[in-house]
Homo-oligomer: A and B are copies of this chain.
Amino acid sequence: MPRIDRLVIVGLGLIGGSLGMAARRHRVAARVIGVSRSASRLKDAKRLGAIDEGFTNRLAAVTEADVVVLATPVDAIVPYAKALLPKMPAGSVLTDVGSTKSGIVNAIATLTPKGTAFVGGHPIAGSEQRGLSAASARLFDGSVCVLTPTQRTPARALAAVQQLWQPLVNRVLLMSPDQHDRVLAGASHLPHALSFCLAASAGAGPLPHAPKSLSDLTRIAQSDPELWDDIFLSNRSALIAAMDRFDRNWQQLRRLIRQKNAAALRRFLARAQASSHAIHRQ
């Protein structure tokens, strides 16, 4: 017996489509409803098993919703919340899948009518690919979903969003929006920033194919610029702090190599190696 009656997913790209597939597979809702401005996208989503029913009219889709998930690009989340929240029934819950949280949670806090609630969410899964065609019921397998309730979040709203994600992921973690943004700045946004810069700087040149090191480090730079400029700017202050931390190590490494300081260079690399081992043991 599913505990959510009507689950509405707004935006049927990689994450929204995969969420629909996984939600239907794990029967977390009696009915999965998809919203897209494109009727052909809704048809594809139905054919792929991502939704039971599709709406091009976003307002009509949410009037009887229990849980609404905004699976749009980061910069569209607040405008969608503003449009949908007044139409959502009392007791319903709005959540999202955006890669940054503080700005979104703060903005939506001022928009939420009495009787409805917003819980920030971020399933840490994805790929440099995008779009419904890359969606998979298994995208979230083994992954972590971070939820970012605040002191004002009603317990039953948090519980509903936890119920949605729990069967789909390995762990649901609760963090404050600020903590989420600091953690993700270091663990995801900084790596993406570096990958974009490396891709902009380097090529395999005359080699017939890139060595694995270059290929691995530039893979995520194939990600969509239109998604990532929003993520970088909406998590600007935490990202700048993470970039500054990197920059201190980077300038130190450049200095040690310039100065041919072999002993200090080896210590630097040994410390980095230990940190990498710790990251991979996690």
Contact = CB atoms under 8 A, between A and B. Distances in A.
Contact of A206 (B175, B245, B268): B175
Interface in A231-254: 232-233, 236, 239-240, 242-243, 245-250, 253-254
A14 to B, nearest CB: 14
A207 B124 contact: yes
Contact of A194 (B183, B217, B276): B217
Point out which of A186, A250, A270 has the most chain B C-beta atoms below 10 A from its C-beta: A250
Nearest to A248: B201
Interface bracket on A: 35 or more
Contact of A279 (B179, B191, B203, B226): B203
Interface stretch (A25-33, A36-44, A102-110, A255-263): A255-263
Contacts of A272: 196-197, 199-200, 221, 225
Given A200-B271, A202-B242, A233-B257, 17 more contacts: A144-B209, A186-B201, A186-B203, A186-B214, A187-B203, A190-B201, A195-B217, A197-B249, A204-B282, A214-B279, A218-B275, A219-B276, A222-B276, A225-B272, A232-B265, A233-B265, A236-B258
14 contacts: A124-B211, A171-B208, A186-B201, A186-B205, A188-B213, A197-B250, A200-B271, A202-B246, A221-B276, A222-B273, A222-B276, A224-B273, A229-B266, A236-B260
